[in-house]
């Protein structure tokens, strides 16, 4: 079975993430979206909120599921027999960090885990969760960046 995991913070999920999820869902039998729950970045949304918004956003893709994990990604993967990580690459600025994580995950997993990179579609190359949070905090319409239900959750969060 070819199962891949697409891990991230998803705080919140954006159209850039959804683009990677949709494209990877055509490449693997199953794609598991893994939300890191013990995130040192102090996320805006709770892990339950992020899971809820992601589940709604991928509800029309039958081979995609959403889970939360804490601790090491490779430990979750070993426990669930998953050997491929999917990550999106937006620009060269992502590359150093992603290469470092991919190579260390491969080393620590004794070469049992590989990372597959999808280059982000050009229309989402500038997009990030932090940019969305910043605009939304000032009450700017973010429906070009995130699904409508996520934009509403941002409005509720920032009371705007
Ligand atoms: O969306 P993000 O914040 O760029 O995602 C980063 C993530 C969650 C993929 C990465 O931090 C991760 O895998 N964390 C889990 C802990 C882990 O396995 N660490 C070892 C590699 S950094």
73 lines ligand 1 (CB under 6 A): yes
Among 67, 57, 1, 6, which Cα is nearest to 31's? 6
Please write down the HEC assignment for all residues of 8-40. ECCCCCCHHHHHHHHHHHCCCCEEEEEEECCCC
Residues 48-63: tens digit of each pLDDT:
999 999 999 999 999 9
Residues 146-160: tens digit of each pLDDT:
999 999 999 999 988
Residues 8-22: tens digit of each pLDDT:
999 999 999 999 999
Tell me which of 7, 35, 115 to substitute to probe ligand 1's pocket, judged by most ligand atoms within 8 Å of the beta carbon. Answer: 7
117 CA → ligand 1 middle, Å: 15
- Quick one: pLDDT at residue 115? 98
- Signed CA dihedral, 151, 152, 158, 160: sign only: positive
Query: Which residues, including other chains, have CB under 8 Å from residue 62's CB and lie 6 or more apart?
Result: none
Residue located nearest, by CA, to atom 19 of ligand 1: 72
Residue located nearest, by CA, to atom 16 of ligand 1: 72
Kindly tell me the burial class for residue 127, based on how many C-beta atoms sit within 10 Å of its own C-beta (0-12, 13-18, 19 or more).
buried
36 lines ligand 1 (CB under 6 A): yes
Specify the residue for token string 């890191």. Answer: 36
Asked if 72 and 7 touch (Cβ cutoff 8 Å), the reply is no
Q: What is the pTM of this model?
A: 0.96
Q: Of 50, 51, 87, 90, which one is the catalytic site residue?
A: 90
Name the strand (E) or helix (H) holding 96.
helix 92-108
Question: Catalytic residue at 90?
Answer: yes
Question: Catalytic residue at 80?
Answer: no
- Quick one: pLDDT at residue 92? 83
**Dihedral, CA of residue 119, residue 123, residue 126 and residue 128, to nearest 10:** -80
160 CA → ligand 1 middle, Å: 31
- Quick one: pLDDT at residue 91? 83
Question: In angstroms, rounded to a whole number, what is the distance separating the alpha carbons of residues 33 and 35?
Answer: 7
């Amino acid at each position: 079975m070819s199962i891949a995991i697409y891990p991230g913070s998803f705080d919140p999920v954006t159209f850039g993430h959804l683009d990677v999820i949709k494209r990877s869902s055509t490449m693997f039998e199953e794609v598991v979206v893994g939300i890191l729950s013990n995130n040192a970045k102090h996320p805006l949304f709770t892990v339950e909120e992020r899971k809820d918004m992601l589940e709604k956003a991928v509800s029309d893709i039958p081979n995609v599921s959403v889970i939360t994990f804490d601790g090491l990604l490779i430990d979750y993967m070993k426990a669930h027999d998953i050997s491929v990580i999917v990550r999106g690459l937006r620009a060269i600025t992502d590359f150093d960090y992603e290469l470092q994580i991919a190579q260390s995950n491969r080393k620590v997993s004794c070469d049992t885990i590989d990372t597959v990179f999808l280059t982000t579609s050009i229309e989402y190359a500038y997009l990030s969760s932090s940019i969305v949070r910043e605009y939304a905090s000032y009450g700017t319409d973010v429906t070009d960046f995130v699904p409508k239900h996520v934009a509403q959750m941002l409005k509720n969060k920032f009371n705007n």
